[in-house]
Amino acid sequence: MSKGKLILGVIGADVHAVGNKILFHAFTDAGFDVTNLGVMVSQEEFIAAAIETDADAIIVSSLYGHGELDCRGMRDKCIESGLDGILMYVGGNIVVGKQPFEDVEKRFKAMGFDRVFPPGSTPEDAIESLTDDLAK
Q: Which residues pair with 90 in a beta bridge?
A: 60, 116
133 among known catalytic residues: no
The DSSP output letter for 81 is T
56 among known catalytic residues: no
The amino acid present at 25, given as its one-letter code, is: H
Asked whether the beta carbons of 68 and 93 are under 8 A apart, the reply is no
Pairing of strands 33-36, 5-10: parallel
Rule CB under 8 A: choose which of 48, 104, 111, 134 binds other proteins: 48
Question: Which is nearer to other proteins, 45 or 105 (by Cβ)?
Answer: 45
Q: Should residue 70 be labelled a site residue for other proteins when binding is judged by CB under 8 A?
A: no
Give the residues lining the site for other proteins (CB under 8 A).
2, 5, 7, 13-16, 33, 35, 37-40, 45, 48-49, 51-55, 64-66
Active site members: 14, 16
